[in-house]
Structure 1
Amino acid sequence: MKKIVLLLIFYPLVLIAQDNISELEKKLETVSGIQKVDVLNNLANSFLYDDTEKSMSYAQQALELAQEEDYILGQAFAHENLGNNFESLHDYQQAVTHFIAARDAYILANRPASIANILNYIGIVYDNMNEYPTAIGYYKQSFDQYKELQDTLGMAMIVNNMGGVYDVLGKYDKALYYYLLNMQYNKVINNDDGVASSMNNIGNVYQALKDYDKALNYLQQAKQMYKALDDTTGIAMTVHNIGIIYHDQGKYDKALEAYLSSMQSDLKRNDKVGLAASYNNIAIVYDEMNKLEASKEYYMKSLTLSEEVQDRYSIANTSNNMGFLFLKMGNNDKALEYFERGLEIAEELNALELIKESYDGLQQYYYKKGKLEDCLEYYKRYEDIEDSIFSQNTKKEIAKLQMQYDLDSKQQEIDLLQKDNEIKLLQLNRQKNIRNFFFAGLLFLIFLVLLVYYAYVIKKRMTESLLKEIEERNKIEQQLKQSLKEKDVMLREIHHRVKNNMQIISSLLSLQTKYIKDKDALQVFRNSQDRIRSMALVHEKLYQSEDFSSINFAEYIRELIDNIHLPERHNIKITLDLEDVIIDINKAIPCGLIVNELITNAFKHAFPDNQDGEIKISMHLGGDNAYTLIMSDNGNGLPESFDWNETSSLGLQLVSGLVRQLQGNIDVVSEGGTKFTIIFK
């Protein structure tokens, strides 16, 4: 059974100053135009967390008036207020719509700090909707904005939120990396609240990895910092998470005490998310204490609250937990219902930990039902995902990150001690000099001269040593530059020679075609010549490029088409829709050969009897870094008996092999012509 751990997600600070509400309402009656828009936005912001209805009303009025006045910044503030209101109501689609509108307006108004804040808001909304890849994308955009602004607090906020996403997904190496980075940023700016929250989150990662000593160490530090800050919410959260550690260790009385304490705090603050987590974890304790009816009651409370706030991750988690409870109670059919619900949501979220829990429950269910084959299948799935989550690579990466952080911290301590020792040494020297001055002026002067002379000698030696070191480094740097330059020349020469050799082969084939009378044989030679040209063109592009390893695909395809031996059919149009994507040589050559084969095939078979036609070629890079290459024609299409896997066409067999080389997929549709869709990364 999986307990719910409380993480901290950071929201940007509200930008609009909150004046006295009564003064704002009086001011509203005396102003007009742009000033009225600002007052309405201030009122909307003031009521944001206290009276959603009023806040939305003021924000809507502000938006309408700002649009009438063509006041871009006022529109941005109004959209931001509306987005915050819809987010608090869990209407995430509306929230995203308004936040994106706010972002666009801030871009027009040239407000980079506001753009960074809004991008974080959008990431949080997608995070709440469990659309994690999209959330990460917006978080990264926000981080880049904050980095450009040199806003350390903003960068700390974003890396924490990114760590939270990877934590939920069970990718603990990445989660720990971002949490440690968050702690470093907060220490730099002396943000104790941020340091405490990062310690809480790091403790949760170690709890998930069953390293309870490290987990308790971080959580206890977080608790003490929250006490010093008098932060009751932070204290309740860390107490809850410490309860989870005791729970894992089988100390049920201590765990229950911690959960109940956290629950009381959640009730006072009406924190439904925290309350759902407390209910879930209390239910688990009662389950393990064999108080099954009490456990069921708290699970139902947790599930109801999670559904109310649309927390799909918690719904899946509590559903799995209820499945285990019903197995224990002997209600196997009810258990299956909850396991299947939990698995369906977990797979949609790609939440590895939850998927693992569902597999475990299903293998236990089928074992009880005597369906051993199904039981074994789910047990294998459980083992596979368990190995994936806790792989040795992950543990090594975590150890490496922790070690690096410890080394950095120790180095900082050493630097501070060295500075402290230097200060103390200066103080002692000063006292000694004062004593010597009073006791013997002459001796002091001699000492001072000797000290100055000694310092001069040391400084001279250090200067000479530094100059020598600088000179040696400059020599090494020049050698490295020369080596890199020679490497570039060699790479350029290699690609140039490969291209020339291929052109020689192409020329030999061209000469040979002059002596071939058989049309089929002639076509085979020309096809081979086109294939060689397509590869030669890649190497030509490479030695013309800056890095010698990648080319512009759009430019390459345009030149490739100009070099292919195609029949002079002016009634066939070739349309290109190519995104300016950069691809490396390992993708460029197979793609070029695929385009060559499919164009040649279309000209040969798609348009018999000199009929009119069109061939379309498109290439785009998707948001998931997947390339989509589409080649289609409006010709006769493939024969009904055509079987892609059984084709005897050398060209299509070559295309199939090239797609496998790209580790991609190909889809062939023959309706109103033929369409080849190839997707690869």
Structure 2
Amino acid sequence: MYLSLRLTRLILVWFSVCSLFGGLFTQADAARVDSLEAALQKAKTSSEEAELLLSLGDLIASDDPDKALQYGRRLLRLETKNAPSYGLAYAYRLLGDVFITKGITDSSIYYHAKLDTLLTELPDDPDKAQMQFLVKRNLATVYNQSGRDQTAIALLYESLAIPGISSYDSITSYNTLGNAFFEMSRYDESIATFQRVLEYARREEDKKLEAMALVNSTMSLDALGRYDLSEEYLLSAIAIIREINEPVGLVYGLRNLAFLYSVTDRKQKARDTMWAAIQQSIDINNLGMQVSIIGSSLSLQDSSMAKAPQLVAMALTFLQPGQQNIRDNKISLHPTLAHYFSRTKEYESAIHHAKEGLLMMNEIGVDSTMDYLFLVENLATAQQQTGRYREAAANFRNAKEMYKAIKEKNDEAAFAQTAASMELAENRLSRERAEAAVALEKQASAANTRLFGLAAIGAAIILGILVWAYLRSRRDARHLSTQKALVDQSLSEKEVLLREIHHRVKNNLQIISALLQKQARRSESEDLKEMIRDGQERIQSMALIHENLYRSEQLSGVSIKQYLRDLTDSVSKSQGTGKVAVDLQVEDEHLDLDTAIPLGLILNELITNAYKYAFPDNRRGAITVEFEKRSDGQHLLRVSDDGVGLPSDYEIRQRNSLGLNLVKGLVGQLEGSIDWIKLESGTSVAIQF
């Protein structure tokens, strides 16, 4: 029962997005859609097309969200060409609203967030404040649906702080705020918030809003056990709904009243009231409403009730292929049917509908709620009853882990209650033993018999505890073994994926290098070719990092000795003539990417610079590369050559050289220092970091 009631509450929140007592899609609306579509076919300008697409999308969003989604995406393609613009803002708003209706929370959040960002870039406009208000309120509605109520509350307070919004808009935010408080079990605050909406509705004589506030208030009143006031509110709301002739509101008012009767043990009255709601929904001929009400009614039935088979048949009809069901209908019916079939021991049907319900709930992002857990347990129980013990055990374990996180405080309270019960049991046992001791003095034979009985009971209890502990330890060991295997498999998969990423990055960098080489061949400028070659060498230094990583046993860093050896070999092949020897004196150490990449770029620049300027006229010489980790934890990189040494205009060159400026910037990134040292024969560059 609890599962069905909470799932029904989830659907109710979604229906409230477009107003609990919203109107139906009438024949007049259908005629207007036909007229707008005909005009769209004849649209001559992009602005005319955009206005028609927006009007069509808004008109059919609640009745045919899939088609509204097509209009929204077409509008988005049209307005992207003019970005940023208010046309693009309207496209984002339409798509976000349609995804709310479809129950796809992640997509709705995505487009509303893009709209929120876009509005900060657009110039002031009479509609800007209203759009800023709507985007925050709608985002709050989506977060409320997906269980992120604290975020929803923060956004609602932001919407109320926007200047220039109307009193009615403020009240709509307070209405959503009341729902968020209810979802967080802050029932007193929820009631106070809905009371504010109710006072506004009565002051403005808004009957529809008054009925909505009364119905919404009853949810928190029920949670607090204030059933008399809740019933009074519901009966008043139903009277108002009949007065203003709102058939949709009447259906939901009757449905909520039926649940109240059920909670207060008026079962037959609950079923009769729910059946009246079903008949009303059939008269209205609204598919989504019929599905919701039939699902709600099934939660109040069992197989012994006369109307139960008829309700099941109606529910299964709605799930047949070819029915134009939106996602909300399936979310409402599958879990309810799974729960019903479990009660009637039709376990195969229960398993089918439980799996379909879990799939739907995964898609809308409610896979970490109590509703989801109850459905997992329902599935596991049905699997256990049909002999699928391995699947059942896996689902029970998953539910157990999720319960551990969600109900930690409840578990602590249960533990305290258990401890208290054990203490009472111990006191009772001590008292019985004292009474037995007194009885021993009066009647020895009776005392011996009682003592024997107590010993037998104690032995049985101890044996039972030992057997339970043994079985529990075996089950926990199997669980730990399974979890370890899953973790090992996950780590292996992630390691393979990370190696593939490094491999692809290295290949992409080589492609970039090849493209630069191809471009250089088509140029007759030697200076340009030299600049491109320098760029290729810098790219190669980064590619070597990723090559070493995907070939390495460790993915957390690279072997600096192997990397510097590969790098110096690569630069030597590119720059050397065979007359300059490179001596590598490097301690083996693993460095992470954030250190290895700038270090490789620095070494590339220094070796290239030595080849270019230290050995003019193709003279012979040697370059020495040293790398070590000092006792104070600092690293030292020294590049020395025995060439012609630093030129007299070194300071000027240093300021004008891209390579040397790059070296200085990379040393700064490593939070290090650089020293240029003139030797008797050649130059030495020492870098500490």
Q: What TM-score do you get using the length of structure 1 for normalisation?
A: 0.47
Greater Rg over alpha carbons, structure:
2
Q: What TM-score do you get using the length of structure 2 for normalisation?
A: 0.46
